[in-house]
Amino acid sequence: MLSKELVAASTEPIVLAILAEGESYGYAIIQRVRALSAEQIEWTDGMLYPVLHRMEKRGLIQARWGESETGRKRKYYALQNDGQKAIAEHHRQWSLVQSVLSGLRKEQYV
What's the mean per-residue pLDDT of the chain? 93
pLDDT the model gives residue 80:
97
d(CA 39, CA 62) in angstroms, rounded, equals 27
Alpha-carbon gap, residue 54 to 12, rounded angstroms: 10
Distance CA 62, CA 84 (A): 12
The answer to whether 75 touches 25, Cβ cutoff 8 Å, is: yes
Asked whether residue 90 carries a pLDDT value surpassing 70, the answer given is yes
At residue 110, the pLDDT reads 60
Q: pLDDT value at position 1?
A: 72
Domains delineated in the chain: 4-108 (1.10.10.10)
Distance of alpha carbon 85 from alpha carbon 69, whole angstroms: 32
Q: What is the pLDDT of residue 105?
A: 83
Tens digits of residue pLDDT in 29-79: 999 999 999 999 999 999 999 999 999 999 999 999 999 888 899 999 999
Q: What share of the chain is helix, strand, coil (3-state, %, to 5)?
A: 65, 15, 25
